[in-house]
């Protein structure tokens, strides 16, 4: 397969949803001669934007925001075709009754926030007051003891809260992947892997090969990954397995249709510049 120089820096989100892509690398089953850097999606976005990483998983919005900087890695993404289970809006009242009310949005994911704003505008047809905030696993015990009327929660905290959320505090729960599917009929791509255009093509291709090989191992070994996820988060193993089984780590024509529809709507709203998808040569 060849190896990439140790100076190559590869970004990884330390959430359960990345376990299938990095699991074989973490276990030494697939070699990846690169420095792996952990960070929440927005942190990796910033590092890629600053040139501090060579290859990384990033929010789908980050690619659209600065497409001239990046090349998409083919056949590698985090997508859902229905429920995603880890991007959730928990609310004290129905979503279409949140106009003028405070909605706490995660500062950790540009794509999830953009999708939520889109759903409020076009599906629920109201304008809440968005307030920046975060929810971590350590916050779960205090969940519900807040002044706002709804909260966007992503990642491992959303998985835990989906199983435990207090119906008295937040009786309404919305899965953003499912809401997108109901609205458009398309899959939704939350994250993509990209390389800097300035990264040597040979280095980026070698990293891409390693990520694909690790991904292929991961999707074939979801049960041990679910056990690892359960130990890390406290979410029951069957729920972790259901979650990982419901995600797709490829980037098929159907996923690209969902991604380009999302980008089209962002362009129409003036949130990202118009552009095209540019891919790294296939590994």
Averages of pLDDT over runs of 10 residues in the chain (283 residues) are 68 95 97 93 94 97 96 98 95 96 86 96 96 61 67 88 68 96 98 97 96 98 98 94 97 97 97 95 77
Question: What's the token pair of residue 144?
Answer: 């519900």
User: Domain 87-184 carries which CATH code?
Assistant: 3.40.190.10
Question: What are the distances in angstroms from CA 60 to CA 15, 153, 233, 259?
Answer: 16, 17, 25, 8
Task: Reply yes or no on domain 9-79+189-268 having CATH 3.40.50.720.
Answer: no
Q: What is the pLDDT of residue 213?
A: 98
Q: What is the pLDDT of residue 137?
A: 45
Q: What is the pLDDT of residue 169?
A: 78
Rounded to two decimals, the pTM is 0.92
Q: Where in the chain is the domain with CATH 3.40.190.10?
A: 9-79+189-268, 87-184
Helix (H, G, I), strand (E, B) or coil at 185: coil
Question: What's the token pair of residue 50?
Answer: 């600053």
């Amino acid at each position: 397969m060849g190896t990439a120089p140790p100076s190559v820096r590869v970004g990884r989100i330390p959430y359960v949803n990345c376990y299938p892509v990095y699991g074989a690398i973490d276990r030494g089953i697939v070699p990846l001669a690169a420095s792996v850097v952990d960070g929440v999606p927005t942190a990796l976005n910033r590092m890629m934007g600053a040139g501090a990483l060579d290859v990384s998983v990033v929010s789908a919005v980050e690619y659209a925001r600065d497409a001239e900087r990046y090349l998409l890695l083919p056949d590698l993404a985090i997508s859902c075709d229905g429920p995603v289970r880890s991007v959730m809006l928990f609310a004290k009242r129905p979503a279409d009754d949140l106009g003028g009310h405070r909605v706490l949005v995660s500062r950790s994911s540009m794509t999830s926030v953009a999708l939520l704003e889109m759903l409020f505008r076009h599906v629920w047809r109201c304008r809440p007051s968005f307030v920046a905030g975060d929810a971590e696993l350590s916050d779960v015990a205090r969940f519900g003891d807040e002044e706002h009327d709804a909260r966007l929660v992503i990642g491992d905290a959303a998985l835990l809260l989906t199983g435990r959320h207090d119906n008295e505090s937040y009786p309404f729960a919305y899965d953003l992947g499912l809401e997108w599917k109901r609205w458009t009929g398309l899959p939704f791509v939350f994250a993509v892997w990209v390389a800097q255009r300035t990264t040597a093509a040979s280095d980026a291709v070698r990293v891409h090969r390693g990520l694909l090989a690790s991904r292929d191992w991961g999707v074939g070994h979801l049960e041990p990954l679910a056990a690892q996820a359960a130990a890390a988060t406290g979410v029951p193993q069957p729920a972790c397995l259901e979650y990982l089984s419901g995600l797709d780590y490829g980037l098929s024509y159907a996923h690209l249709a969902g991604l380009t529809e999302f980008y089209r709507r962002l362009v129409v709203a003036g949130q990202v510049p118009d552009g095209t998808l540019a891919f790294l040569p296939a590994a």
